[in-house]
Structure 1
């Protein structure tokens, strides 16, 4: 698996998360990409840039990456230059249109407060926007988490509370794994913390927040270049970095 960061139209991304349940959306997107999606006949729209995009990370298998590469090469043979983000935007657009009028029944929501080591929330805030944490962590628990067999006790550790609200299926998955390990009391919390440790490690390899800020900076600089010459911009940036 390899993590890629894709750029989306912010409104489309929000609609995607609204139309499809948290615990199913990423799996549905990947299944659609592999088993149904092909490039449209007209590719002009896919070449259109997205202004001030939202950045969304996805973990992709070699099979998915190969399909993306094939689609990009296929577009090139037709005289179009598109990237993987353009493909993913079209995949998302198709899924939204497919389910907008036939929405999937939303799952019951559940909330729980977990004890985690002090500093966890601050570290996560540097890696991913607070509003994205639930979505990304839920998807990871459902699709990517493999227990580490190491569940350290929280005793004698400084603790803080992390409130987590998600689809009931996410909590059921935690309970399922807890039962497999024979945990009785506090098993869900042990599994959640293990998943959280793994999730944080994955986010550190390619922090979504950093990718989003980098994309936003590029957009701002492109706009700035329309009204100012490059040497002046470089001088301004140099001054700012020295402050």
Structure 2
């Protein structure tokens, strides 16, 4: 294996901005996430809504990509995409996934795991209608994840659908929202000497009897 350039191998950073203590954290992971996301937004972190989505295909190979969170509540974490894309096909075959937020400037990571379901058609319609016109046309123009000969196809498709739909493109049947229903969260706060803080929340039980348990993990 080729050695890494010394300039890469020697990169170091001491994490000293904050700490994550069990007593100071929320018992409900959603509240802890809400606090951290708000702090990332208020701190003007670049793209605080960006999250890595990991799925697994039928060949058991994992794949990741960055998507944008578009909503969250006690039901789960929501994003929107093309259902025919690679991630959509993988979720159709294996409806479990993982999400990760990395707020570098705050030295924080949030990891979320759980089952994925489609949001209702009404939710997808409402969000689609709120998107800029170019984005709505783009949802029709791009056969996401499929090989194309050149960018000309995208431009041609965009012009075609813009002429067809004018200012009111409907939501494509292949486009909509997903919701990850968490059963595990992990909050990571960088600390000095690599003795980082890690708190894991796991959902125990089901229905109204379910509750979150919280544990500290070794870094």
Could you say which TM-score interval applies, normalised by the shorter chain? under 0.3
TM-score when normalising by structure 2: 0.26
Q: Which one has the bigger strand percentage?
A: 2
Q: Which one has the bigger helix percentage?
A: 1
TM-score when normalising by structure 1: 0.24
